[in-house]
Amino acid sequence: MSRKYFGTDGIRGPVGQTPITAEFVLKLGWAAGKAFCPEGGGTILIGKDTRNSGYILESALEAGLASAGVNVLLLGPMPTPAVAYLTRAVSAQAGIVISASHNPYSDNGIKFFSSDGEKLPDSMELTIEALLEAPMTTVPSAVLGRAKRLDDAVGRYIEFCKNTVDKNLSLKGLKLVVDCAHGAAYKIAPAVFKELGAEVIAIGCEPDGLNINEGFGATSPDALSAAVVSSQADVGIALDGDADRLIMVDHTGAVVDGDELLLVIARNEQRAGRLKGGVVGTKMSNHGLALTLEAHDIPFVRADVGDRFVLAELNARGWSLGGESSGHILCLDQTTTGDGIVSALQVLQALKADDQSLAMLKSEMTKLPQVMINVRDVDRELIEAEPLKAAVANVEEKLAGTGRVLLRASGTEPLVRVMVEGEVAEQVQGFAEQLAERLRAL
């Protein structure tokens, strides 16, 4: 069955437009309460990022859940992976995150975690959608749900993050610039790295409800690069608005993407004898990652784009490490979902273990030139149009087996991504622009 509201990462859209309205989210809270706690009772956590709209959506969810007879634990601003962890830690029936991740402040969304701290299977999303079509009822007053705050949520999650690395790891001697995108991790991330001994310069840590992801964070790393160079820091760490994504910067100011970070973590895990199986990437992962892992006898497979597909592939194979070029990295030996802080700690642990710079560790991998163009305001169904397929086939013929073409409709934004990869940078750029123009023309 197709889903009406759920996309690849929960329900997302512009605030004030269905489904991101107070009215809809009230009903969504009720439907989720009925789905997770059909007999009433139980507890569901709610965390959010720093968007101004989080207040109204939090209140609507709380009212909907209480109407279904479900108790609520409010976490306040909290990274998405923290909600996943805390849901397990307090034995709640589910966790809900109010966030649109890397999108601008004008968007927001609702994401769910099961009691195991994992993203929902399709069957549960379909159950919630079916309940959205049913009449909303309210349980008797005596059994209405109640809400309270989990006061020690921040401290619990900081300790969890610190415990994902070797107990004797010290970051003393490292100067880090930590960019939190004015998002959910603005208090937590600097504290984690400081408590492990690093000198921390925090940027993007002044949220005002409207500036999330604006000029800072994993999708805008220029500010981080400049800060690393100007402060002569060893490493820069950039999270996105809900801190499930990680991009880093080496001491020269060069950006280190998710593919390169996966390699650094995988090689360190391999040397320590901790790597389970191989690594799962996606169809967007640079072919240089596949070649480098193969050279080190580390198996590599590609999943569809989206961390839920990477997770499914990891679980199917019994592996623990995977991720996307965009910086969603899954370390399943440490946690159940993508976690920017935990992933950064694994990279820093590799730096300490090898006593090498991030620039040196990432140099094992030679990336093939890859260009991705986001084409906005086009019909996403056009990627199946015959004229576009013919244009793609023409480019693939010219690449002659030395590169790849991928067209993909985004699951979280109204756009189509055009990706071309090959051996010659100028040729790759030209092909990508040709395909993007052909898509716009259609």
DSSP 8-class letter at 54: H
Contact in structure between 356 and 339 (CB atoms under 8 Å): no
State which amino acid sits at residue 365: M
Residue 319 CA to residue 416 CA, distance in Å, equals 30
Residue 238 CA to residue 344 CA, distance in Å, equals 9
Name the strand (E) or helix (H) holding 308. helix 307-317
101 is catalytic: yes
State which amino acid sits at residue 3: R
Q: Would you give the end-to-end CA distance of the chain in angstroms?
A: 29
Name the strand (E) or helix (H) holding 342. helix 340-354
- The set of residues, in sequence order, having a beta carbon less than 8 Å from that of 296 and lying 6+ positions away, is 267, 270
Contact in structure between 137 and 278 (CB atoms under 8 Å): no
Residue 302 CA to residue 292 CA, distance in Å, equals 15
Catalytic residue chosen out of the listed positions 53, 99, 101, 343 = 101
Report the candidate in 281, 311, 313, 302 with the shortest Cα–Cα distance to residue 119: 311
Residue 199 CA to residue 189 CA, distance in Å, equals 13
Contact in structure between 299 and 266 (CB atoms under 8 Å): no
Q: 89: burial class by Cβ within 10 Å (0-12, 13-18, 19+)?
A: middle
Query: Where do we find the tokens 């784009």?
Result: 305
Q: Which residues are catalytic?
A: 101
